[in-house]
Structure 1
Amino acid sequence: MEALITPEVLRWARERSKLAPEDVAGRLGVKPDRLDAWENGEAKPTFKQAQTLANVLRIPFGYLFLQSPPAEQFALPDLRTVGNAELRRPSVDFNDLVNDIIRKHEWYRDYRQQEGAEPLGFVGAYTIRSDPNEVARSIAEVLKIDEAMRAEASSWEDFLRLFIRQAEAAGVMVMRSGIVGNNTHRALSVDEFRGFAIADKVAPLVFINGRDAKAAQIFTLAHEIAHLWIGATGISNVELAQSQRQEARTEQFCNAVAAEVLVPAESLRRHWNYKVSIEANIGHLVRRYRVSSLVLLRRASDLLDVDQREIDEMYRREFARFRQRDSGGDEGGGDFYVTLRSRNGSLFTRAVINATFEGRTLYRDAARLLGVKVPLLRAVADKLELR
Structure 2
Amino acid sequence: MRKGIVFLFLVLSLFACKEPFEPELSEANLRVLTVEGYLDTEGKPSELYLGYTRRIYGDNLGPGSTPAVGAEVFLESSEGNRYPLVDVGDGFYQFAQDIEEEGSYRLKILLEGEGYTSESLHPLISTPIEDIGFEKDERGVEVYITTKGSGTVEDFLWTFTETYAFSPKFVSPYIYRPETGEVDTRRPEETIYLCFRTLNSSDLILETSSNFDEGVIFKKPITRIIPGDERLSTRYSILVSQMALSPEAAEFWETMRKNTDDIGTIFSPMPSNITGNVSKDLDPSAPVIGFVSLGVIQERRMFIGVQEVSPWVNNLEAYYDCELDADTVSASGFEERFGTGVKFPAMAVFVESSIIGYRSALRRCVDCTLRGSNVKPDFWED
The structure whose residues are more often helix, as a share, is 1
TM-score by length of 1: 0.22
TM-score by length of 2: 0.23
Higher relative contact order (Cα pairs below 8 Å, separated by 6+ residues): 2
The structure whose residues are more often strand, as a share, is 2
| Structure index of larger Rg | 2
